[in-house]
Amino acid sequence: MLIESGDIVLIADSQGVMDSYEATGTSIDSKAPVAVLVNKGTASASEVMAGALQDNKRATIAGETTFGKGLIQTIVELSDGSAVSVTVARYQTPAGTDINKVGIKPDIVLEDQTLLPTDGPKFCKVMASGSAPNLFL
């Protein structure tokens, strides 16, 4: 919805890239500036989205390096009733970066997390003030 064209995510197995998902050309607004706030709790699908927006030069990513959850796993039930989790593939950003255990590195590092409150109205107030970081490069 934010990317007009280009890859969103690559899925790679042990043999290499086996699938890709692309934007469908139906973005809501492909021109408005976008900033995405991330932190060490940003994982999996939200990391995939941040990587897609960053690699497609569609958004500025700000905050701290994300969690690094880039594995696709399946549960295999064993004959004794237990189960094992098996990694079947990895997520990669459109540029081919494997995010597992590495995460997405922000364009703007925000080291002082107390600067940005998590409460919506308070966050908007800080962003409207002169003390807020410029998130639109």
User: Which residues does the annotation mark as catalytic?
Assistant: 44, 69
Which two tokens mark 86?
């098996």
Cα–Cα distance for residue pair 105/51, rounded to 1 Å:
9
User: Which amino acid is present at 44?
Assistant: S
CB neighbours of 70 closer than 8 A, spacing ≥ 6? 44, 47, 90, 91, 92, 98, 99, 100, 101, 102
